[in-house]
Amino acid sequence: MTGPVQPPLFRDLGRVEYQPTWRAMQQFTAARDAATRDEIWLLEHPPVYTLGLAGKLEHVLAPGDIPVIHIDRGGQVTYHGPGQLVVYPLIDLKRLRLGVRALVEALENSVIATLAEFGIQAAGRRDAPGVYTPGGRKIAALGLRVRRGCSYHGLAFNIAMDLEPFSRINPCGYADLEITQLKDLGGPADVNTVAARLKPRLLDQLGYNKA
């Protein structure tokens, strides 16, 4: 029987531009092999809209001066900006024996467990990936790509940001979807504080701590 999988290397990247970070994820995934250690990148992006592979421009209503980048993840349009914790799991799903649905649920459950630490109730939705607070407001979005059994892109967790740019799109393709954030629910407003609480939850939910 094999022991635990080597835990991932966490990289706290701070605030970084979207496009070079996306290219770096692609390059990491293309170059890795069976011995490559998994990594999880935690960061923020300057204001940007990203549109997934099947994304429809009709959901980008009034982007103004915020750039719109067509990318290679699943899903429709979302917004990234300062005050949002972005988590990119660059992991070998085969090695962890995780399917894509299990990866989605692990990421969702990591956020749900972190929110519970702050006394905030939340849940996932089978029909629409992400994490939602009571009343249906979305606090975290997911969009993934899997190549050669390895994942990139990931999770966007709203902490303390300007939510106005979400009103200029149909978030994740839903016209009436309301967006919320941790600060407005009584939680901490510091992205690094939340990242520190989220990391052990990711290790648990993704299965790195299993024997």
Closest by CA to 201, choosing from 79, 34, 42, 35, is 42
* Active site members: 172
Report the predicted TM-score, pTM, of the whole model to 2 decimal places.
0.95
Non-local (6+) Cβ contacts of 190 within 8 A are 159, 160
Name residues whose C-beta falls within 8 Å of residue 130's C-beta, 6 or more positions apart in sequence: 108, 124, 138, 140, 141, 142, 172
What's the CATH number of domain 9-206, 3.40.50.280, 2.160.20.10, 3.30.930.10, 1.10.940.10? 3.30.930.10
CA atoms within 13 A on the CB side of 51: 16
- Domain coordinates in residue numbering, the chain: 9-206
Q: What is the pLDDT along the chain (211 residues), one digit of tens a residue?
A: 355 689 999 999 999 999 999 999 999 999 999 999 999 999 999 999 999 998 899 999 999 999 999 999 988 999 999 999 999 999 999 999 999 999 999 999 999 999 999 999 999 998 889 999 998 999 999 999 999 999 999 999 999 999 999 999 999 888 889 999 999 999 999 999 999 999 999 999 999 987 4
pLDDT at 211: 44
pLDDT of 4 reads: 67
pLDDT of residue 1: 36
Specify the pLDDT at position 105.
96
pLDDT at 204: 96
Cβ(159)–Cβ(191) below 8 Å: yes
Closest CA to 159 of 183, 132, 129, 141: 183
What confidence score (pLDDT) does residue 19 get?
97
